[in-house]
């Protein structure tokens, strides 16, 4: 039967690219933070450079990310209302609590780490760990509680956001680690051959860890796609839009293909899986892929008409 909408009104897309970028930066620093704290808590000496790189990443990203959040507000000068007028049922309030408490414990952790006071670095690292998880998981809840959008409204969203945050955090730290490795190679500033081998092994281990989270990402996307195909008409349209439709060139090819599947496949190829040059490129793909994921899910999730 022929049906045509003759008149309806267009609606503003509420969560814009600024929010998607904020989600990306928060994920990036949460990933860096979790890896840095994890490396500190294990107490292994060879992980110390990773812990310090992660800590610096946290400082830079955390001090810049909230600017995007404030700028996107219709009333930017009222940003402090988010902290003083809390609503316990709103994930944005949960996020405000995490965003206020996390920098305090993390700053002490970072100071202790750089002062080589490992006892207190471990204590404050352990306190910061759940806050670092919360500071990013809340962004997943922001979307999952948006019941009107089928692409968001899934209980897997916080896990998907955390998992991709780990991928981006590890990718950034691996990339910096590889550049550091090459710089030390060029200057020939290694203490001995063993130190060089240990650093090389550490970077390869990081790529494997990234691979684990990439497999988790792919599994979450697979389960979501299967579920959405059996849900409402809107869910089917959203699933098609991401995988074969309007956003497929970004989501399916760049994020899932280049950002997740290609690195996982590279891990299985002998010779390639220990080549730092290849991994430097793949980690750049992973970083771009996670950003694309944040954009397509956050902004793209609002493309399906709901009224």
Partner 1 sequence: MSNTAKRYAMVIDLTRCIGCHSCSVACKAENEVPPAVWRSWVKVMEKGDYPVARTMSLPVLCNNCEKAICVRVCPTKASYQRDDGIVLIDPHKCTGCKYCMAACPYQVRYLNPVRKYAQKCYFCSHRVDAGLKPACVETCPAGARVFGDMNDPESEVAQLLIKLPTSVLKPDSGTLPSVFYVGLDKDMADPLKGIDVEYSIEHDHKVLEEIF
296 touching partner 1, by CB under 8 A: no
DSSP structural state of residue 289: H
Which residues have C-beta within 8 Å of that of residue 55, sequence separation ≥ 6? 32, 36, 109, 110, 113, 114
- Residue-by-residue DSSP string for 155-224: TTHHHHHHHHHHHHHHHHHHHHHHHHHHHHHHHT--SSHHHHHHHHHHHHHHHHHHHHHHHHHHHHHHHH
Indicate the Cα dihedral angle 46, 284, 219, 264, nearest 10°.
-70
46 touching partner 1, by CB under 8 A: no
> Whole-angstrom distance between the N-terminal and C-terminal Cα of the chain?
20
In angstroms, what is the minimal distance from the CB of 216 to partner 1?
26
In angstroms, what is the minimal distance from the CB of 89 to partner 1?
5
304 touching partner 1, by CB under 8 A: yes
For 270, phi then psi, to 5°, come to: -60, 145
Q: Give per-residue burial for 214-239: e unless 16+ CB within 10 Å, then b.
A: bbbbeebbeebeeebeeeeebbebbb
In angstroms, what is the minimal distance from the CB of 234 to partner 1?
6
**């550490």: which residue's tokens?**
202
In angstroms, what is the minimal distance from the CB of 35 to partner 1?
30
Stretch that binds partner 1, among 5-13, 108-116, 196-204, 275-283 (CB under 8 A): 5-13
Which of residues 78 and 208 has its CB atom nearest to partner 1 in the complex?
78
Residues 69-98 that bind partner 1 (CB under 8 A): 72-75, 78-79, 81-82, 85-87, 89-93, 96
190 touching partner 1, by CB under 8 A: no
**């796609």: which residue's tokens?**
225
**What's the gap between Cα 279 and its chain centre?**
18
Of 56, 246, 252, 281, the one binding partner 1 by CB under 8 A = 246
In angstroms, what is the minimal distance from the CB of 228 to partner 1?
14
In angstroms, what is the minimal distance from the CB of 9 to partner 1?
5
Binding letters toward partner 1, positions 138-167, x by CB under 8 A: ----x--xxxxx------------------
Stretch that binds partner 1, among 36-44, 177-185, 211-219, 298-306 (CB under 8 A): 298-306
Q: CA 285, CA 228: separation in Å to the nearest integer? A: 27
Of 108, 123, 190, 234, the one binding partner 1 by CB under 8 A = 234
In angstroms, what is the minimal distance from the CB of 126 to partner 1?
29
100 touching partner 1, by CB under 8 A: no
**């292994």: which residue's tokens?**
44
Tokens representing 119? 């006892």
Q: CA 172, CA 177: separation in Å to the nearest integer? A: 8
7 touching partner 1, by CB under 8 A: yes
Tokens representing 291? 């950003």
Chain contacts with partner 1 (rule: CB under 8 A): 1-15, 72-75, 78-79, 81-82, 85-87, 89-93, 96, 142, 145-149, 233-234, 237, 241, 245-246, 302-307
């Amino acid at each position: 039967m022929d049906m045509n909408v003759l008149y309806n009104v267009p609606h503003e897309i509420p969560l814009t690219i600024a929010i998607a970028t904020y989600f990306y930066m928060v994920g990036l620093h949460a990933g860096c933070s979790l890896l840095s704290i994890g490396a500190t808590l294990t107490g292994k000496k060879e992980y110390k450079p990773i812990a310090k790189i992660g800590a610096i990443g946290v400082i830079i990203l955390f001090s810049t990310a909230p600017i995007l959040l404030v700028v996107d507000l219709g009333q930017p000068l009222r940003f402090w209302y988010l902290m003083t007028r809390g609503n316990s049922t709103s994930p944005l309030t949960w996020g405000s609590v995490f965003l206020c408490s996390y920098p305090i414990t993390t700053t002490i952790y970072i100071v202790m780490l750089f002062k080589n006071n490992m006892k207190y670095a471990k204590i404050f690292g352990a306190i910061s760990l759940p806050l670092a998880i919360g500071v990013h998981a809340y962004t997943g809840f922001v979307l999952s509680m948006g019941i009107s959008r089928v692409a968001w409204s899934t209980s897997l969203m916080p896990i998907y956001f955390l998992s991709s945050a780990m991928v981006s955090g590890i990718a950034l730290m691996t990339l910096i680690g590889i550049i550091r490795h090459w710089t030390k190679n060029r200057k020939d500033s290694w203490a001995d051959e063993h130190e060089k081998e240990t650093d090389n092994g550490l970077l390869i281990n990081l790529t494997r860890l990234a691979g684990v989270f990439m497999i988790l990402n792919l599994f979450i996307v697979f389960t979501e796609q299967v579920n959405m195909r059996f849900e409402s008409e809107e869910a089917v349209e959203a699933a098609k839009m991401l995988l074969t439709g309007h956003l497929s060139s970004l989501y399916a090819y760049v994020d899932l293909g280049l950002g997740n599947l290609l690195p996982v496949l590279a891990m299985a190829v002998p010779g390639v899986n220990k080549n730092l040059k290849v991994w430097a490129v793949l980690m750049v793909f992973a970083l771009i892929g996670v950003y694309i994921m944040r954009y397509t899910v956050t902004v793209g999730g609002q493309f399906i008409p709901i009224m």
